[in-house]
A and B are shown apart, each in its own frame.
Chain A
Amino acid sequence: MEARPSIAVLTFPGSNDDRDAAWALGSLGAEPVLVWHGDGELPDVQAVVLPGGFSYGDYLRCGAIARFAPATAAVKRFADEGGLVLGICNGFQILCEAGLLPGVLRPNRSLQFVCRDVPLAVERNDVPFTARCEQGQRLTIPVKCGEGAWYGELPDEQVVLRYAGENPTGALDGVAGVCNEAGNVMGLMPHPEHAVDPLLGSGDGALVLASLIDAARERLAVPH
């Protein structure tokens, strides 16, 4: 049996997709470990997921307060050492506010909360988060956000996912997911953890999470 890498899933006050993310990771072959926002150290894990939700009530700006949580500081150290970090929705917003990813997420251009399946195009499959996808592959994964319009400046090669067709949030150039320069940190507005079973509309999110799990498994120091 393949080894199950440990993946931390952070819980902030107001996170609401932490358990969905943990369940999805567990069903795809990882050992999810819920980490409380007040913890200043991460347990021994091979990757970290910052889940969706409304951390700290989205006060001031979404993600702006979560940046100061002790657990976020630990994630920053983990990322600086090359650790794998995936931010989903509010997790993406937090990573931008924390300076781990470029840009910022602004209110949707429509001012409406958008909650539906959207088609995405894989712009890069050479990062640990999309290795199971084909370059240019179309994925269907739901978005679920009021502030998902990415805005900022970044070179094209840091765009990992783009909305294919309609742009549900008004994100600049249809950007749906970006990575840092080193490629070990990625954020995306769509929710892969809500699309891991065709029974629920799409299983395409499993490609993203399973890619992360593959990469995390490679980082297990000693095979069991």
Chain B
Amino acid sequence: MKATVTVRPKEGILDPQGEAVRTALDHLGFPVEEARVGRVIDLTFESREDARAELERMCQELLANPLIESYEIVVDGS
């Protein structure tokens, strides 16, 4: 079983990394209004029934810091 977790800086939270990327893109000649940098975590694990709930807890307790980050879980085949 595979799942992909995408973690992003919450809306409204200043993302200095994204801002640096935006500036660099601008220098390259690609003006964009905004760039936000997050991270992607690919997980592979034994298939189990409560995987969804477990993934939710993984995000809450470790993969994201809910204070400043939002997350999205996509389970392969769901």
Chain A complexes with chain B: yes
A residues engaging B (CB < 8 A)?
A: 60-61, 64, 97, 103-104, 106-111, 151-152, 170
- A151–B17 contact, CB under 8 A? no
- Chain B residues within 8 Å of A, Cβ to Cβ: 13-14, 16-17, 19-20, 62-63, 65, 67-68
On whether the beta carbons of B68 and A108 are closer than 8 Å, the reply is no
Cβ A103 vs Cβ B17 within 8 A: no
**CA distance in complex: A64, B62 (Å):** 7
Could you list some 18 contacts between A and B, CB below 8 A? A60-B62, A60-B63, A64-B62, A64-B65, A103-B67, A104-B65, A104-B67, A104-B68, A109-B14, A109-B16, A110-B16, A111-B16, A111-B19, A111-B20, A151-B13, A151-B67, A151-B68, A152-B67
Contact A106 B68 (CB under 8 A): yes
Q: Which partner residue on chain B sits nearest A61 by CB separation?
A: B65
Complex formed: what's the CA distance from A80 to B13 in Å?
Answer: 31
Nearest A residue (CB) for B20: A111
B65 near A97: Cβ-Cβ < 8 Å? yes
In the assembled complex, which residues on chain A have CB atoms less than 8 Å from the CB atom of B63?
60
